[in-house]
Amino acid sequence: MLRGQELDAGGEAGKMLGSTWETRTQARTLVLLVPPPRGQLADRHGNALALNRVVYNLAINFPYFEGTDDATVLSYAHRRVDVANRVLEKDWSLEDEVILKHYANRRWLPLPFSGVLSEPEMKTLEPLLDQGLIIHPSYQRYYPEGAAAAHVVGYVGKTRPLPTGPIESGDPLFVEMEGRDGLELAFDEYLSGTPGKINVLFDADGTKLREEMVERPMPGHNVVMTIDLGMQRQAERVLRTRASRGALVMVDVYSGEIVVLASWPRFDPNVFVPFISKETFDGLQNDPDLPLYARAFRGLYPPASTFKVPVALAALESGTIDVDSVFDCPNEYFIGDRMFHNWNKYPEGPMNVVQAIKRSCNTWFYQVGDLTGSHHISIVAMRLGLGMPTGIPVRGEPKGFMPTDEWSLKNFGHRILAGDLANISIGQGRILASPLQMAQLMAGVAHGESIPKMRLVKQVQTVHNKVVKAFPAERGTPLNVSASSRNLVVQGMIGVVNAADGTGKGASHNYLTVAGKTGTAQWGATEDDKKLGWFAGFVPADYPRYAFVALYEGDPGEYVTGGRKAAPIVGAFLGEVFGKEASATVVAEAKALAREDLGVAVAKAEVLAEPVSDVQLVSPQDQEKMQRKTEGPKILRWWNRLRRYR
């Protein structure tokens, strides 16, 4: 193995190590920033999805060469890079311009040039250290669960490139990071922490007189999400096996806590750390399956027949229909001179509202929607949250769109026409909603009194578990629907899954009664021939606790229905997370909550309403150990080595 002595070949090192600091002009007092460890992102149970690790790079430590030329500086740097490459069989390099600029402006600081070193590599490099090579520590963001919940967690990037000009007070010792997307961006202010300061004083002849940590870096706060990592993993596994592209969402009916927010495909945020190459980023952006696209909360789609739930509620509440109202379900229906079709090519006969929901009869809803009118339908839909963002704290959540008569008058000079209303009545046309919005809608139907405000973050706390900001549960818009209307709709939704002729039997569960609604939508350009499959609902049906939505994006020309594609996603997911024992627990909890006053029930549904002292985050002691690795001996050791070259 190559030894450190090989750096002395040709007498170069002897000449350089005998150099002295230039007096007066080389005297320095350096006050530099020590970036703090970034706060963690954890799930509701304290499992970390974003944390920090201390990493090590190899760096060149320059002496001062009095009266030397550029060739000498370049030779010194390249020789050390070459030796490291031979020892570790790497191909690291430094451009001449980078070397000379660093030497001219910042030679008091090491110049890193390697990738992250492994423990064996650092051991191999030991004989070369103190020969102009040192190990350079820094913090690096790390996502221990890889791609799990990546669209929610987000990723980080460099706050700014490391300075290359003349060294100034306040320059950082290593690269600082900032949030770029997801909760990393939304809570960057809390996660960032406060930098520390290190002061190093040299006298006129270059002798180091003092070094001290003036201010210790303060770690950033930890953010506790509502996501349940175990359920999130199961959701993503089901999506991986059952959909090329899609989403799966589950929310707490009472507290509004989002326990699953899964988009598929996904990406690994570790590829952004410490920076992402153009080739890798272009690959992600140009992937036709759009792995960077957060379908679960940023995607907007026509809700298809899942929208028949608010249409039925509007028809019942407006008095247009009641429990005894019956309409025929033909295979086609004329509105003016235009023919509208049912999904079933055979007529199905007379139906009441429960049967129409169970069978998802389009032609029944064309008739009832026309009689109910767009005004009543849009009011109920907006009370259920459509046409407005849910308010989760991430960038880019869209409003969606719910057409109204007022909108139509403003843009077209007339109220919504009969043909457009027919499309609206089956969730097609101009209506757009995200999977998360539809989950909120289903949570409102499940509860019956109001929609819950969606919650993605429970609280922000220090590393010592002191809560600095909490996000309590809130109820949203009151639904103002009668229990009788809501119960009729729920009966139909139970039939969708549990009746022999229901359209969503693929979502059935061995131990829980599932209520749901299938949906199949035309989507995108007509020539693309793409369809969406939806399945939305809640569980347990009689005493709802969780609302859910599954979305399946079909390929061009693929045969897709909500019953064939989306319902089995929900069935597989519920089967994984709710076994016999877990199902009994959920039913018992849901029954107990149903007996409580709304405010009490909401409070009891919050699992972590108090300071999270039991969450298994990295302990304060471990945080301090990580901090000392960068703020203490490892960093100060740089300055100790400089004394050898005075």
What gap in Å lies between CA 489 and CA 505, rounded to an integer? 17
The mean per-residue pLDDT over the stretch 303-320 comes to 98
DSSP state letter for 381: H
pLDDT (0 to 100) of residue 169: 82
423-452 confidence digits (pLDDT tens): 999 999 999 999 999 999 999 999 999 999
Asked if the model's pLDDT at residue 538 lies above 90, the reply is yes
pLDDT (0 to 100) of residue 110: 87
Q: Are residues 115 and 122 in contact, defined by beta-carbon separation less than 8 angstroms?
A: no
Asked if the model's pLDDT at residue 151 lies above 50, the reply is yes
Reading the block at residue 146, the tokens are: 């890889």
DSSP symbols for 223-253:
EEES--HHHHHHHHHHHHHH-SSEEEEEEET
Reading the block at residue 194, the tokens are: 């406060």
pTM: 0.88
Q: How far apart are the first and last CA of the chain?
A: 30
What gap in Å lies between CA 53 and CA 143, rounded to an integer? 10
Long-range pairs of 636-642 with CB within 8 A, sequence gap ≥ 24: 636/198, 636/211, 637/134, 638/61, 638/109, 638/110, 638/134, 638/136, 639/200, 639/208, 639/211, 640/208, 641/61, 641/130, 641/134, 642/61, 642/108, 642/208
Of 614 and 66, the one with more pLDDT:
66
pLDDT (0 to 100) of residue 17: 36
pLDDT (0 to 100) of residue 632: 41
Q: Are residues 479 and 449 in contact, defined by beta-carbon separation less than 8 angstroms?
A: yes
Q: Are residues 468 and 221 in contact, defined by beta-carbon separation less than 8 angstroms?
A: yes
Say which range, 301-305, 464-468, 608-612, has the weakest mean pLDDT. Answer: 608-612
Say which range, 317-321, 373-377, 597-601, has the weakest mean pLDDT. Answer: 597-601
Q: What is the pLDDT confidence band of residue 26, given thresholds at 50, 70 and 90? A: low
Position 84, amino acid: A
The mean per-residue pLDDT over the stretch 10-17 comes to 38
Q: What is the pLDDT confidence band of residue 253, given thresholds at 50, 70 and 90? A: very high
Asked if the model's pLDDT at residue 645 lies above 90, the reply is no
Asked if the model's pLDDT at residue 636 lies above 70, the reply is no
Position 306, amino acid: T
611-633 confidence digits (pLDDT tens): 454 444 444 444 445 444 444 44
157-209 confidence digits (pLDDT tens): 988 888 888 888 888 888 889 999 999 999 999 999 999 998 877 554 434 46
Q: What's the chain's average pLDDT? A: 88
490-521 confidence digits (pLDDT tens): 999 999 999 999 999 999 999 999 999 999 99
pLDDT (0 to 100) of residue 603: 76
Asked if the model's pLDDT at residue 5 lies above 50, the reply is no
Domain borders along the chain are: 22-75+100-224+618-645, 229-605
State percent of the chain over pLDDT 70. Answer: 88
Q: How many CA atoms lie within 13 A of 26 on its CB side?
A: 19
Asked if the model's pLDDT at residue 270 lies above 70, the reply is yes
pLDDT (0 to 100) of residue 167: 80
DSSP state letter for 129: B
State percent of the chain over pLDDT 90. Answer: 71
562-582 confidence digits (pLDDT tens): 999 999 999 999 999 999 999
Of 13 and 363, the one with more pLDDT:
363
Of 213 and 480, the one with more pLDDT:
480
Q: What is the pLDDT confidence band of residue 555, given thresholds at 50, 70 and 90? A: very high
CATH homologous superfamily for 22-75+100-224+618-645? Penicillin-binding protein 2a (Domain 2) (3.90.1310.10)
User: Is there a common fold for 22-75+100-224+618-645 and 229-605?
Assistant: no
Residue 581, classed as helix, strand or coil, is helix
pLDDT (0 to 100) of residue 28: 66
pLDDT (0 to 100) of residue 641: 40
Burial of 346 (0-12, 13-18, 19+ CB in 10 A): exposed
Q: What is the pLDDT confidence band of residue 607, given thresholds at 50, 70 and 90? A: low
Place of tokens 């629907």: 481
The mean per-residue pLDDT over the stretch 1-7 comes to 45
Asked if the model's pLDDT at residue 243 lies above 60, the reply is yes
Place of tokens 């350089």: 16
What gap in Å lies between CA 313 and CA 138, rounded to an integer? 58
Residue 11, classed as helix, strand or coil, is helix
Phi, then psi, of 235 in degrees rounded to 5: -60, -45
Query: How many whole angstroms from its chain centre is CA 645?
Result: 49
Residue 79, classed as helix, strand or coil, is helix
CATH of the domain spanning 229-605, picked from 2.60.40.10, 2.60.120.1090, 3.40.710.10, 3.30.160.340: 3.40.710.10
Place of tokens 């029944």: 364
Say which range, 16-25, 297-306, 379-388, 619-628, has the weakest mean pLDDT. Answer: 16-25
Query: How many whole angstroms from its chain centre is CA 535?
Result: 22
Position 195, amino acid: P
